[in-house]
Amino acid sequence: MSERLTVVARIRAKPGKEKETHAALRALLAPTQAEAGCLNYDMHESLDDPAAFLFYENWESRAHLDAHIKTPHVQSFFDRASELLAEPVEIKFYRMVSPPGK
């Protein structure tokens, strides 16, 4: 059995590109949430910094995440990253050690 994987990704938009980055990130939600192995894919925006975004994701396995990275919608976003983002996406990987909640 594969181990589930949690991903936390921090994204910072370039000054003046906040709304465009927000729209590009929101466009990832529906197609990603429909992918095999996606348990959740949640986008968050900072309450006090319009350039800061965070994704909290859970995947059935690393293989599912790897397949997600290769999808056209994700590749299309990364093709625009230098135009939209102030810095590279910061991605951290975790595994849950507590029992799942409600």
- Whether 90 shows a pLDDT value over 80: the answer reads yes
Dihedral, CA atoms, 46, 86, 28, 90, nearest 10 degrees?
-80
This prediction's pTM: 0.91
Nearest to 35 by CA among 77, 63, 3, 9: 63
Distance CA 74, CA 77 (A): 5
Region 5-94: CATH code: 3.30.70.100
The residue-averaged pLDDT of 47-58 equals 98
Domain ranges for the chain:
5-94
- Whether 39 shows a pLDDT value over 70: the answer reads yes
Q: What percent of the chain has pLDDT over 90?
A: 88
